[in-house]
Amino acid sequence: MDTAGRGLVVVVEDEPAIADLVRLYLSRDGYGVHVERDGLRGLDAVRTLRPSLVLLDVGLPGIDGLEVCRRLRAADDWTPVLFVTARDDEVDRVVGLQLGADDYVTKPFSPRELVARVAAVLRRSTGVTGGAVLVVGAVRVDPGSRQVWVEEREVVLTATEFDLLLALMRRPGQVLRREQLLADVWGEADYSGSRTVDVHVAQVRAKLGDASPIRTHRGVGYSVAVASRTA
């Protein structure tokens, strides 16, 4: 196991050539890398090593990547997850996001793009946002601590879900197009398509329940319709 300085990435990938390529590029960029070849061993490694991020193939022996993510989230383990999938079916990617993944890439991928995605997810999960606490109805968002509450109940969001909610709440009453949200939250305007935004919005709404302030503007994007205030 390599434990370089930018954080440890657990790579769960059953194709040796791909795993070796990913290890090479991540190590070159300063990340520590630990590789496992099947889902159960990968799950154990995440629980034991407490990595900064999990790079998780969907198609794995033992249990698949979707089940690994499901078990982590069910145990309240919110380690950032970046899915890698060779499948063309969008269902796999959507299900992965619904389970709480932060992002995904599709094989074949550019190793440089993969490293950039890892860096982007880690920036979202560890970045200090700062700013005044925002309140919309029963929802309260603290950018500094990156915490969200509905009344007195804390709501656990992934790093990507948090940044999406914050982007909307910081511009109350303004309709943000999906492309703008992709640029603001993911760092690029077109790499993953509008479906990624829609799935993450749906996840945030589900976690906030009836208190969710997010409104849909069909064919355009999303907004927080109720005026925000600072606490």
- Residues 111, 138, single domain; the answer is no
Instruction: Please give the Cα distance from 106 to 87 (Å, whole number).
Output: 7
CATH number for the domain including 33? 3.40.50.2300
User: Is 3 part of any domain?
Assistant: no
Residue 34: the pLDDT is: 95
User: Is 76 part of any domain?
Assistant: yes
- Residues 13, 81, single domain; the answer is yes
- pLDDT of the chain, 231 residues: tens digit per residue: 555 567 899 999 999 999 999 999 999 999 999 999 999 999 999 999 999 999 999 989 989 999 999 999 989 888 999 998 876 666 677 777 788 888 888 888 889 989 988 988 888 776 555 678 899 989 999 988 889 999 989 999 988 899 899 999 988 888 998 888 887 787 665 545 577 888 889 999 999 999 999 999 988 899 997 666 665
Residue 85: the pLDDT is: 82
Q: Which amino acid is at 182?
A: L
User: Is 180 part of any domain?
Assistant: yes
Q: Which amino acid is at 205?
A: R
Buried b (16+ CB within 10 A) or exposed e, 105-132: bbeebeeeebbbbbbbbbebbeeeeeee
Residue 78: the pLDDT is: 86
Domain containing 13 equals: 8-126
User: Is 159 part of any domain?
Assistant: yes
User: Is 98 part of any domain?
Assistant: yes
Indicate the residue among 69, 99, 126 that finishes a domain.
Answer: 126
Helix H or strand E segment including 118:
helix 111-126
Residue 190: the pLDDT is: 52
- Residues 14, 55, single domain; the answer is yes
Total tally of structural domains belonging to the chain: 2
Indicate the residue among 68, 94, 126 that finishes a domain.
Answer: 126
User: Is 1 part of any domain?
Assistant: no
CATH number for the domain including 168? 1.10.10.10
Indicate the residue among 126, 143, 175 that finishes a domain.
Answer: 126
Closest CA to 55 of 89, 76, 71, 79: 79
What is this structure's pTM?
Answer: 0.69
User: Is 2 part of any domain?
Assistant: no
- Residues 166, 105, single domain; the answer is no
